Structure 1
Amino acid sequence: MNEFLTSMIDLMIVAIAVALVARRLRLPYTVGLVVAGIGLALSPINPGLVLTHNVIFELILPPLLFEAAINIQWKELQQDALPILTLAIVGTLLAAAAVTLAFHFLLGWPLKPAMMFGVLIAATDPVAVIAMFKDNGVHGRLRLLVESESLLNDGVAAVLFALVLAWVQASGQAHLGTGQIAGLLAVTVGGGIVTGAVCAGLAIMLIRRTTDHLVESTVTTILAYGSFLLAERFNCSGVLATVTAGLLMGNLGLAPVSKYGHSVTDKGREFTLALWDFLAFIANSFVFLLIGITVAKIPFHDLGDKALSFDIIVVLISRALTVYPLSMLFRRSPWSIPTKFQHVLWWGGLRGALGLALALSLPSALEMRNQVLIATFGVVVFSVVVQGLTMPLLLRGLGITQNR
């Protein structure tokens, strides 16, 4: 226990140092964390923490998803609901299919590992995107489009992963019929949404019965983790549960006044939003430091330089094949997406925590599991470092932000 606390304190000290240096050098914070993590792994210092599926899913993901969700407003989301849902649902399916086909037919991977990689790498990371936009002062419709699509995309990717994993594990043992797939989909999606909604409803009822801002904030903390863990306990989507809970809490529980009446107090709202900003900072710091620490120990040579380059190129192309064609569907509609916004949606589709968590959760018996894991880490590092570093340049080049 003492070693665990010491390791966490050490990582927080490093995170503070990185935040100060990154702000001074005007570098993306997440990039600095990954680089610092690599440096820690190569130094005599041993942080003592390891990036595992449980660490990401049970400790890091809930606060990151919840913090992102509570800051999305219904009114703004409804205005662009159709393009956001199209990009998040259809786009994720297309991206996963494109990567699967490329890896199976061009790289020669067996279908099962190709499908697993295609699905998990389709998950974009709202955390990295939100942090990047905050650093560069991006607001308005572009921020809503990118953040909302990225957040909902995570839920879709997590559900697809569960379905594909069930199919892979059932192969050779029993035929997974259409009815079973539909049932699994209903449980995973419907169960996740219902769990999040019920938990949020109970939390809002509790908040309305107190004026203590500490109690109000504690309730939201229990909601974020409780909805996730409860959904996962019953084989539902914890990602969808927490996102649903966050959206409802942000728009009903933390709203000053809604048609349902008063909810949280003014002091409670201010304190709760500040608390979640802090918790997201801590979780964000841990995950990207641990990514750097883990990446330094990954044997990328086992995959091959050409194969790794192929991975990155295919993932970028698959993202382009979803963003640009789907955006064209709304060209002559009220939801038209400007071309420069499309460029940001493409290059800003960073990969991160969820993709790694899904890769780390793959069963050890899965064919080519190590190659899938190595490819995932390679794409994530390229995404965070290269795309993260060049994103401010793209934003300025497109005239979206000014030199800061």
Structure 2
Amino acid sequence: MNVTQVILLLLIGYIVFTIDKKKKNVPIPVVLLIIGIGLSFLPYFSSIEVTEKIIYDIFLPGILFVSAYEFSTKALRRHGPVLAALSTVGMVVMALVLGIVVYAAGGLFVNISLLGAMLVAAILTPTDPVSAISVLEEAADEHIAEVVDGESMINDGTSVVLFTVLVGIYTGEESFQFFGFLGEFLYVSLGGVAVGLLFGWICSKAVHITHHRDYQVMLSIIIAYGAFHAAEHIGVSGVLATVAAGLMLSYEFEHTNKEDHYREALSGFWNVVEPSLLSLVFLLIGIAATTTLASAHWLLVTIILFASIGIRFLIVSGVLGIFHKHRELERKKQAFLVSWAGIRGTMSVFLILSLHALSPEGSEMLLSISFPVVVLSLIIQSLGVYPLSKWLGDG
């Protein structure tokens, strides 16, 4: 991808953000995705090679940092048990049950192994509610938006560990051992959090020394990308490191008498960077997805998508039933909105591209299932968030 292509993609993103007046009914990521699919038919853009490194090393740290930095630590404390349950045990259960469904349904259309089905499920379990959060905050209870946003930040780290273990088994490089998986999960997850907290704490103290706003912005870039790559370098979760660093910075700002001063400088910068990153990433997802859409078994893809929403609803409903003592009807409404807003996106695309880069036997068939589900999820679920939020809120 050359500089001219990047500039043109940014220009398209700017135009979409500028003229899209109905962000609720037609979320911007959906528009960008569809435009990206259209661009893939133009030779100039179809030559762009979208790799897992571009998504993981360039886009994810910035997007995750903004989400974490803007996420209230009070909300984290309020929903901590729910977020922890959904992002760990809930996610593993989701992958297991969805894998069985993919295996059972997939067998009617393609020749897929149980392990391959589990790998598809691991790819589809992380959520990316970029297109849903702003709508949920306005149309639904803010607590629902907090749960969806908080879960998506944390479960990205879990998804990488789960995918890594499963793809190792799938390629024959390792065998599954429960305690080995648990040990790796704890090391990668807790190690990433520790690195992020340390980075965030050190840099939050340095912010107080750096009085010039431009230098404070420079420091925030170091936090976002430095924590990520430092964690990855020592073999722990860069995703969770960036999230933890952003949360730590937010926490430190909340406990200073100059919070508005610091947030004004950083928000002015990241409020420009975030839509730029989102414009590029959703356009690139559209460009990268096109080759798999033509060969997709759309009935199977639709079954998997709605099965994943249904399974997620049962898990979320169970978790909310344990930790939130609402009336059953109210809990069901919340669970359904949280489930529907769990849209597949950037992290799923990274995992798909990672599998593509490894090119194990049968991977093309797994990609032809996974990528269309992500595209369908982005379109159908994003478009449904606002009407469902209003309908359930008025009901």
Output the TM-score relative to the length of structure 2.
0.89
Equivalences for residues 284-323 of structure 1 within 5 A:
284-301=278-295, 303-323=296-316
Report the equivalent of 2:121.
118
Report the equivalent of 1:34.
33
How much has 1:187 moved relative to structure 2? Answer: 2.6
- Can you list the C-alpha shifts for 1:207-250, whole angstroms capped at 9, x where unaligned? 12111111111111111111111211222111111111111011
- Can you list the C-alpha shifts for 1:142-189, whole angstroms capped at 9, x where unaligned? 2212211222222222222233334444x4x66554554344223311
Secondary structure, aligned partner of 1:155: helix
Change in 2 beyond 3 A, CA 1:334/1:312: closer
Report the equivalent of 1:153.
155
Deviates more, 1:157-166 or 1:370-379: 157-166
The aligned amino acid for 2:7 is: I
* CA RMSD across the alignment: 2.6
Secondary structure, aligned partner of 1:124: coil
> Do 2:297 and 2:369's aligned partners in 1 also have CA atoms closer than 8 Å?
no
Distance 2:387 2:238 in 1: 35
Distance 1:10 1:177 in 2: 48
Distance 1:182 1:299 in 2: 36
2:378 maps to 1:380: no
Distance 1:359 1:341 in 2: 30
Change in 2 beyond 3 A, CA 1:113/1:371: same
How much has 1:77 moved relative to structure 2? Answer: 1.9
> Do 2:165 and 2:176's aligned partners in 1 also have CA atoms closer than 8 Å?
no
- Can you list the C-alpha shifts for 1:339-371, whole angstroms capped at 9, x where unaligned? 322221111110000011012112534232112
Distance 1:83 1:337 in 2: 16
The aligned amino acid for 2:366 is: V
Change in 2 beyond 3 A, CA 1:10/1:319: same
Deviates more, 1:319-328 or 1:378-387: 319-328
Distance 1:388 1:174 in 2: 38
> Do 2:231 and 2:238's aligned partners in 1 also have CA atoms closer than 8 Å?
yes
Identify unmatched segments of 5+ residues in structure 1.
Answer: none
Q: Which has the higher helix share?
A: 2
How much has 1:72 moved relative to structure 2? Answer: 1.5
The aligned amino acid for 1:57 is: Y
> Do 1:212 and 1:268's aligned partners in 2 also have CA atoms closer than 8 Å?
no
Report the equivalent of 1:128.
131
Identify unmatched segments of 5+ residues in structure 2.
Answer: none
How much has 1:280 moved relative to structure 2? Answer: 1.5
> Do 2:136 and 2:385's aligned partners in 1 also have CA atoms closer than 8 Å?
no
Sequence identity (%): 26
> Do 2:196 and 2:242's aligned partners in 1 also have CA atoms closer than 8 Å?
yes
Change in 2 beyond 3 A, CA 1:126/1:151: farther
> Do 1:320 and 1:346's aligned partners in 2 also have CA atoms closer than 8 Å?
yes
Secondary structure, aligned partner of 2:291: coil
Secondary structure, aligned partner of 2:343: coil
Equivalences for residues 64-75 of structure 1 within 5 A:
64-75=63-74
Counterpart among 23, 26, 32 of residue 21 in structure 2: 23
Counterpart among 354, 357, 366 of residue 347 in structure 2: 354
The aligned amino acid for 2:199 is: C
Secondary structure, aligned partner of 2:99: helix
Change in 2 beyond 3 A, CA 1:131/1:155: farther
How much has 1:138 moved relative to structure 2? Answer: 5.0
Distance 2:251 2:231 in 1: 21
